[in-house]
């Protein structure tokens, strides 16, 4: 019997290097896939990978996908925080904050972000697999079963817990899609204030009178670290940042600051400079006031950082 893995390996052998073609007339078969769960401390990892086979205008294309999301384990956070974070992740991934079940979220991402573009789609079974392979071989009599070429399209989405303390946590979602011509990468980050039950924005921690100094710090850091060809680019804070033991890092996806080979850049602001510009009652000030040694030690020991 032809296994799904054997079918996938043979199908990959006939890929032509071409851009993905979206057509409502296309039929798409998706290989059977299982969502694997790995339980961690606060967040559990949900991972699956699969291939799709597109039949368009007599041609066959194989696309491959990886979904890897870390989501709050039930009961690991207080009820409000867990609900807020799940809804935020769902809104970013599928544009709908209502889907908080991890398995359903992944299945909806697969269906709504990709399969919904096509006229028909279904799980790829053994009979379809055999028919598919026969079609491939009729197109290329020189095909070897062991030939492995690159997929026509390759997509990934990854959601990761970056850093956690007893007062806030940082999270990042990265989407990447590649074809023969180019790769597109987008990263969305957020920081959730567990104490005050809200997603942090600059207004929550930045002193109003220090706004210009803060923007100047971003511009100078971006110019120096990214080695940009121009001085002091026009930037504004965008709430797309995360916090870890090293500092506060901004993520810029806009091609305004990038060359054709880059997709995102990270601008890391040193914690000691951030502390001078923030409200003393904010969790950001308190976090960077405990010192980098303590923050790094807590991460190395895989413990949350306690902030008084």
pLDDT score at 159: 95
Q: How far apart are CA 267 and CA 181, in angstroms?
A: 28
- In the chain the domains, ranked by start, together with CATH numbers, are 4-156 (no CATH), 200-300 (3.90.640)
Least confident of 126-135, 214-223, 298-307: 298-307
In what helix (H) or strand (E) does residue 162 lie, and over which residues does it extend? strand 153-164
Q: What is the mean pLDDT of the chain?
A: 76
Contact 70, 160 (CB under 8 A): yes
Task: Flag whether pLDDT at 287 surpasses 80.
Answer: yes
Which of 97-111, 113-127, 190-204, 234-248 is most confident? 190-204
Mean pLDDT of 28-57: 80
Predicted local distance difference test score (pLDDT) of residue 46: 93
- CA dist 148 and 129 (Å) reads 17
Q: Is residue 98 scored above 60 in pLDDT?
A: yes
pLDDT at 26: 64
CB 253 within 8 A of CB 186: yes
Instruction: Identify which has the larger pLDDT, 225 or 5.
Output: 225
């Amino acid at each position: 019997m032809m296994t799904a893995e054997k079918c996938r390996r043979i199908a990959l052998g006939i890929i032509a290097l071409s851009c993905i073609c979206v057509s409502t007339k296309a039929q798409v078969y998706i290989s059977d896939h299982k969502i694997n769960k790995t339980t961690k401390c606060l967040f559990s990892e949900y991972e699956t990978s699969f291939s799709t086979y597109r039949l368009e205008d007599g041609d066959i294309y194989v696309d491959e996908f990886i979904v890897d999301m870390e989501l709050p384990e039930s009961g690991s956070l207080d009820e409000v925080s867990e609900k807020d974070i799940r809804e935020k992740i769902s809104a970013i991934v599928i544009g709908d904050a209502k889907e908080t079940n991890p398995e359903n979220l992944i299945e909806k991402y697969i269906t709504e972000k990709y399969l919904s573009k096509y006229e028909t789609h279904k799980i790829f079974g053994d009979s379809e697999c055999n028919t598919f392979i026969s079609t491939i071989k009729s197109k290329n009599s020189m095909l070897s079963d062991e030939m492995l070429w690159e997929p026509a399209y390759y997509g990934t989405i990854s959601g990761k817990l970056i850093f956690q303390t007893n007062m806030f946590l940082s999270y990042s979602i990265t989407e990447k899609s590649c074809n023969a011509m180019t790769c597109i990468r987008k990263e969305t980050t957020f920081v959730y204030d567990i104490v005050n039950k809200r997603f942090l924005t600059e207004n929550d921690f930045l002193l109003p009178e220090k706004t210009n100094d803060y923007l100047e710090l971003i511009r100078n850091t971006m110019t120096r670290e990214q080695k940009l060809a121009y001085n002091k680019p026009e930037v504004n804070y965008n709430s797309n940042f995360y916090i870890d033991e090293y500092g506060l890092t901004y993520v810029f996806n806009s091609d305004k600051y990038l060359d054709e080979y880059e997709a995102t850049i990270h601008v890391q602001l040193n914690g000691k400079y951030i502390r001078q510009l923030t409200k003393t009652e904010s969790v950001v000030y308190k976090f960077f006031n405990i010192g980098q040694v303590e923050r790094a030690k807590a991460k190395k020991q895989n413990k949350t950082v306690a902030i008084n």
